[in-house]
A and B are shown apart, each in its own frame.
Chain A
């Protein structure tokens, strides 16, 4: 079931990107990675993931800019989870307004919580594909 679900992880911290890759890969998801906003947009031209896990603070182009530059209409099925250690409520509100489906504090997510989060966001998609 997991094999059909793909996640684009956009994260500039290599150590975290690696951890996410490991966790999600182990959990059976197809993982695409990008280290900044520009790479993310490049990836999105090639693939259409079910979930995009998007960091905010990144070099070159940050998560907020990615949201602004992304034409959501091109990816109607894609869930966008902004995952950042930026706990500013203004920031969370801004990203939610700009098309993010959820905002989570990065430090609050352990491996199991992350898998659970992706599972929750893709439940509808998963059940669809199952049926």
Chain B
């Protein structure tokens, strides 16, 4: 409903608002402060919202029309304002008020400018409504955000409060919470109540002044200094004071104050340990010990007027004053005692002395040469029978060195702190707890670092016992800690915690006074490492088992060249005992200079250089073995497997030889075949010319060529006979060649061997008759069937019989016997010239003719007996001879049946 005209007017308003944004904002602040009061609302904090306020003004100017989208813009602004205000600690009321004052400031400015007067009443109403809606959006969002934040804060406060309460109550230390502003005791724990003897309701809510627990009020100055320290450091430690219990007993307590903010207010948490008894005991012991033993200390006695009465030798040495110089003088004149840690030292000393008749403390005193020395002074009162103090004895010791040491200790304490917090292992200090029988049953966490909480999965264990943190604490842990606490001997152990299923590596060492039973524990979760170790161990064992069981030799060389592992196979092959090898330097055992190592050395160095595996087979001279070697790079060194392949190599060699033989054999067969073919052709070609001669001479001799004279016939007969002899020689040679040829085969059929012998005898009948030789058949079995090649057998018997005839004289007899045993034995015995025993074997060789009395007259090529032997062998039979020179020979043929 805003017209074009109105838009122009609104445009002017917009420009005005933008121009005056900071003035409007300033106005809003002033109004707000005057309303709320400048003492509670911080101007600086309020101006923190300035940039949001300027933006609100600009948005109002930009979006004169109310829409859901513009509503969102202002809600977003509300959210930002709220968040910003929370950060700067503004309350909800303060924030909302400031926004409302901003709205009022806008109207105020517009009214002053009289710009609103130009708007119609309707437009003015609409504009007013729109601006109101925007601010409603802002304020309701602010309220929302504050509410959410309140819930969050309350939740986190209650969480930490619960934690605090638990710790507070469980602590074995006396603790209180005191509101600093009014010194009201807000809370006290059981231990504190026990210490002072009050009930909780009697002290909580009351101020220190009302309670009057303190024995001696600190001066205002001292209090201010303590407060300053407390605020700047956050804590005060080792603060000793005296407290009066409900029953009026004074106790000495030592403790610490820690500053905390509770609900935005400063509070002090105090923790105290009752050291009364300890102190008393300390003092008494020290005093006695001093008197009886420590003559090295300066002993000075003074009377009730503080006049020096005695001054021992050690005092002379310590202060430089001679006894005569100081006796009778006021002690403070001489020593100028001051209390460096305590301005009220003298008063406190007197107070303590009044109560306990003794005092011990550190003071600074002056020597004769004017220098200051730190002194630990123990002063005891000497009383008369009426109980009046008549004198004091001071036993003073130079603790300058100790002071230096303490300072060093403090420095190291700082370092320790730094370490403590930065250490990435869990660290804790625990105090062992013992039952009445002196047996440890639990322990208390005194101090832990952040990592400890993480590693041990414990939150805020300090002040709690282990049983509280982990009810299922393993007994073994307690036992270990108890032992360390007792013996002071540090322990490292890996322990298992059932709860959480974790393994912890714990280093335990005793710290401080053994009687404190305090242990420091370094704690790390080694579950994962342990699991990996275990896996690695199992894997390694597996590998070792495998290496031991393999037949191959194995050794491993590390990055330094040392042999770290050899297996059984290595020992077996090399014969070197493990103890001689393990730990040795490989390159020393295996020098480069040794020529036998050359291929091995080269391969090994290559593998180390390239990181690539290699395999080779080579002869290793020192072992006289062929080795198949595989070299693998491993972790900077190498792993070497090798096996003895000598036999394999030999086998390969033999196989190669066999192969060669086989090839030679093949070649031989080829040659033989060629030879056979040659024989075939040669037999034909050699015979043919001689055959032609034979035919033509034959034609002439037979008269086919006409009539010849007797003389001519005689000549031709000589030629014919010579040609026949040549043919015979050719035949003999070819026969021999055939017999030798691979292709020569027998055609064996069943024959009666006796008939074959008789046939040969018959064929040679004329020869025997010519020499008037008699054939005698002796032991002549009949019908002995043998599978033989008849033609070849005829050759055998003909040869043997012809020889028997040839080499025997006239009128001799040739005996033939044929006996069937397992084999057939055919024996032909003559009464000839005989054969020398040396020649028995020779006669069956090719072209052998032995010398005898007939060899010059008997023709022969020296092939007959060779054929005989070969033919018989081809039949599976054999021939042998026995003879006596000049008496005769006996040839025995044996043939299988």
Q: Pick out which of these stretches binds chain B: A43-51, A72-80, A88-96, A118-126.
A: A88-96
B439 proximal to A (CB < 8 A): no
Are A19 and B680 CB-contacts (below 8 A) given A85-B687, A107-B690? no
A84–B680 Cα gap in the complex (Å)? 11
List the A side residues contacting B685 at CB < 8 Å.
Answer: 85
B692 touches A16 (CB 8 A): yes
Q: Pick out which of these stretches binds chain A: B66-74, B697-705, B759-767.
A: B697-705
B698 touches A110 (CB 8 A): yes
Produce 1/0 per residue, B684-717, CB < 8 A to A: 1111101110111011011010000000000000
B152 proximal to A (CB < 8 A): no
B698 touches A85 (CB 8 A): no
B747 touches A107 (CB 8 A): no
Q: Within residues 1 to 35 of chain A, which ones have a CB less than 8 A from any CB in chain B?
A: 13, 15-16, 19-20, 22-23, 26-27
B731 proximal to A (CB < 8 A): yes
Please tell me which one of the listed residues B683, B688, B690 contacts residue A88 in the complex, with CB atoms under 8 A apart.
Answer: B683
Nearest CB on A from B678, distance (A) = 12
List the B side residues contacting A86 at CB < 8 Å.
Answer: 680, 683-684
Are A57 and B695 CB-contacts (below 8 A) given A90-B745, A107-B690? no
B738 touches A87 (CB 8 A): yes
B747 touches A19 (CB 8 A): no
Please tell me which one of the listed residues A56, A93, A105, A110 contacts residue B695 in the complex, with CB atoms under 8 A apart.
Answer: A110
Nearest CB on B from A89, distance (A) = 7
A111 touches B745 (CB 8 A): no
A68 proximal to B (CB < 8 A): no
B734 proximal to A (CB < 8 A): yes
B691 touches A85 (CB 8 A): yes
A57–B681 Cα gap in the complex (Å)? 8
Q: How large, as a class, is the contact surface on chain B?
A: 20 to 34
Q: How large, as a class, is the contact surface on chain A?
A: 20 to 34
Nearest CB on A from B692, distance (A) = 5
A87–B682 Cα gap in the complex (Å)? 10
A16 touches B743 (CB 8 A): no
Nearest CB on A from B3, distance (A) = 135
Nearest CB on B from A83, distance (A) = 10
A20–B735 Cα gap in the complex (Å)? 27
B791 proximal to A (CB < 8 A): yes
A111 touches B747 (CB 8 A): no
B683 touches A19 (CB 8 A): no
Nearest opposing residue in chain B for A20, CB measure:
B695
B691 touches A88 (CB 8 A): no
B456 proximal to A (CB < 8 A): no
A111 touches B698 (CB 8 A): yes
Q: Within residues 91 to 117 of chain A, which ones have a CB less than 8 A from any CB in chain B?
A: 91, 93, 105-107, 109-112
Q: Which of A19, A84, A85, A106 has the most CB of B within 10 A?
A: A85
A111–B730 Cα gap in the complex (Å)? 20
Produce 1/0 per residue, B743-767, CB < 8 A to A: 1010100000000000000000000
Nearest opposing residue in chain A for B730, CB measure:
A107
List the A side residues contacting B478 at CB < 8 Å.
Answer: none
A106 touches B691 (CB 8 A): yes
A90 touches B743 (CB 8 A): yes
Nearest opposing residue in chain B for A56, CB measure:
B684
Q: Which of A87, A93, A109 has the most CB of B within 10 A?
A: A87
A67–B685 Cα gap in the complex (Å)? 22
List the A side residues contacting B695 at CB < 8 Å.
Answer: 16, 19-20, 23, 109-111
Nearest opposing residue in chain A for B791, CB measure:
A89
Nearest opposing residue in chain A for B727, CB measure:
A107
Please tell me which one of the listed residues B681, B692, B727, B738 contacts residue A19 in the complex, with CB atoms under 8 A apart.
Answer: B692
A107–B688 Cα gap in the complex (Å)? 7
Nearest opposing residue in chain B for A11, CB measure:
B688
Please tell me which one of the listed residues B686, B688, B735, B745 contacts residue A16 in the complex, with CB atoms under 8 A apart.
Answer: B688
Nearest CB on A from B161, distance (A) = 125
A89–B731 Cα gap in the complex (Å)? 13
Q: Which of B681, B696, B791 has the most CB of A within 10 A?
A: B696
Nearest CB on B from A7, distance (A) = 15
A13 touches B692 (CB 8 A): yes
A88–B791 Cα gap in the complex (Å)? 13
List the B side residues contacting A26 at CB < 8 Å.
Answer: 699, 704
* Other 19 A-B pairs with CB < 8 A, given A16-B688, A106-B687, A110-B694: A13-B688, A13-B692, A16-B691, A20-B695, A23-B698, A23-B704, A27-B704, A85-B683, A85-B691, A86-B683, A86-B684, A87-B687, A87-B735, A88-B738, A90-B745, A105-B687, A107-B691, A107-B730, A112-B698
A-B residue pairs in contact (CB < 8 Å), sample of 23? A13-B692, A19-B692, A20-B695, A23-B698, A23-B704, A27-B704, A85-B684, A85-B688, A86-B684, A87-B687, A87-B731, A88-B683, A89-B791, A90-B743, A90-B745, A105-B687, A106-B688, A106-B691, A107-B690, A107-B694, A107-B727, A107-B730, A112-B702
Q: B: which residues have CB within 8 A of A?
A: 680-681, 683-688, 690-692, 694-696, 698-699, 701-702, 704, 727, 730-731, 734-735, 738, 743, 745, 747, 791
Q: A: which residues have CB within 8 A of B?
A: 13, 15-16, 19-20, 22-23, 26-27, 56-57, 84-91, 93, 105-107, 109-112
